[in-house]
Amino acid sequence: MALCAAAASTATAFASSRLSASTARPRGPSSTSLPSFVGAFPRAVATRRSRRAAAPAAARRAGVTVRAEAKKKSVLIVNTNSGGHAVIGFYFAKELLAAGHAVTVLTVGDEGSDKMKKPPFSRFSELTSAGGKTVWGDPADVGAAMGGASFDVVLDNNGKDLDAVKPVADWAKSAGVGQFLFISSAGIYKPTEEPPHVEGDAVKESAGHVGVEKYIAEQFGSWASFRPQYMIGSGNNKDCEEWFFDRIVRNRPVPIPGNGMQLTNIAHVRDLSRMLSLAVEKPGAAAGKIFNCVSDRAVTLSGMAKLCAAAAGVAAVEVVLYDPAAAGVDAKKAFPFRNMHFYSEPRAAKEALGWRSSTNLPEDLKERYAEYAASGRGEKTMTFDLDDKILAAVGKAPASVAV
């Protein structure tokens, strides 16, 4: 079971057995961590566990053991109109709709704006055809956008600081919203020499998201904050893997700052929406918690280049390592990922929500590449000014790294 047939060394971590092993694990929704003394009273534990899995109190009193039915909820997603997080609201909405919940997506700004021509907004018909409502408005006045409507759950997938989120939170509280969820960022963690970032680790107190987390913790009994990193997935508003594909399909070297060993999390957005959905399904388990909203594996920057090449069916990719200062470039402009270890683990979601990661980068990137290839983007004329500047500074022929 531990062996995998994949040829690429980077792909070998993900045999299908990995996923089946994960899903086959016996931990159900009731298996939150128990106090140590229960080992001495296993019979009591068994009873307690079956009780947890059973229906609410009324059914128990009636002597009926019913499998807990997720109550259908009304959910409002306040969604950003651009950037890497936009796609989270789209997947979350779809997943909620598929589960039978009532979903409204309030996108910031105007329906007619140019921003709405890009994914995921260009695909909002997928939400409306599934019964979702899509509206546009100003998060500073959600009440006006929503009229008198209230919701069981509100997700703010827009604000990065209290200025942006406070009006949403205050409206939600006055409207009697039961559960307030917030998309924060794993970027708020203080850099560490002991990775990964885990929930509870020190954060940069001045970060806008930190102010929001503190505020919603004060305002709501049932709140949760989700800290994502990078995402791939169809409908993404921001380039991720495309940056690598653009170079690979044009037989260009891939310039990576530093030594390429920096680790980062790149998750399929379905993992994020799954985590959010579980929080809606199990509000008690999610309440008052911070969740790193990432897959449970990290990848090196060079490794990502190799995986993208493998997904594109290319035998080798030329990775060129460079020192941004020496090359005279701003790494933030030249490269789409942070030039440092940026590595979190989703430990709270696994323990509290029974969430499991399904991201399988080697496989997921194949699907991403198929969409990239079909889009024609690979044939478009593109300039690579910063790349060229880097290659000139480095001066030598790029090294070819076997995939």
Partner 1 sequence: MAATASLKSSLLLPSPLSDFSGAAVSISAQKRRSSWQPRGARVQVSAAADSKNILVMGGTRFIGVFLSRILVKEGHQVTLFTRGKAPITQQLPGESDAEYAEFSSKVQHLKGDRQDFEFVKTSLAAKGYDVVYDINGREAVEVEPIIDALPNLEQYIYCSSAGVYLKSDILPHCEVDAVDPKSRHKGKLETENLLTSRGVNWTSIRPVYIYGPLNYNPVEEWFFHRLKAGRPIPIPGAGNQITQLGHVKDLARAFNLVLGNPKAGQQIFNISGAKYVTFDGLARACAKAGGFPEPELVHYNPKDFDFGKKKAFPFRDQHFFASVEKAISELGWTPEFDLVDGLTDSYNLDFGRGTFRKAADFTTDDMILDKKLATV
**Run of H or E including 107:** strand 102-108
Q: How far is CA 375 from CA 88, 218, 371, 378, in A?
A: 22, 46, 6, 8
Site for partner 1 in 46-75 (CB under 8 A): 46
196 binds partner 1 (CB under 8 A): yes
Closest CA to 160 of 207, 113, 125: 207
Q: What does the DSSP 8-state code read for residue 352?
A: I
86: its two tokens: 């936009």
Nearest approach, Cβ of residue 118 and partner 1 (Å): 30
Binding test (CB under 8 A) with partner 1, winner from 3, 7, 58, 315: 3
**Hey, what are 96's tokens?**
């909620």
Take residue 396 and report the two structure tokens written for it.
Answer: 């030598």
Length of the chain: 403
Rounded CA gap, 257 and 325, in Å?
10
Spatial distance between the Cα atoms of 213 and 362, rounded to a whole number of angstroms: 34
Please say which residue, 2 or 57, places its beta carbon nearer to partner 1: 2
Q: Judged by CB under 8 A, does residue 314 bind partner 1? A: no
Cβ closest to partner 1, residue 18 vs residue 377? 18
Residue 41 in the binding site for partner 1 (CB under 8 A):
yes
Q: Got the DSSP string for 69-94? A: PPPP-EEEEEE-SSSTTHHHHHHHHH
Q: Figure out which of the listed residues 126, 351, 363, 367 binds partner 1, where binding follows CB under 8 A.
A: 351
Query: Is residue 195 close enough to count as binding partner 1 by CB under 8 A?
Result: yes
Region binding partner 1 by CB under 8 A among candidate stretches 63-71, 168-176, 239-247, 259-267: 259-267
7 binds partner 1 (CB under 8 A): no
Nearest-approach distance from CB 246 to partner 1, in angstroms = 21
- From CA 372, how far away is CA 378, in angstroms rounded? 7
- Residues binding partner 1: number (CB under 8 A): 55
Q: Smaller CB distance to partner 1: residue 3 or 58?
A: 3
Find the binding residues for partner 1 in span 92-151 (CB under 8 A): none
- In the complex, which residues of this chain contact partner 1 (CB under 8 A)? 1-4, 9-10, 12-15, 17-18, 21-22, 25, 27, 31, 33-34, 36-43, 45-46, 192-196, 198, 258-259, 261-263, 296-300, 302-304, 306-307, 341, 347, 350-351, 361
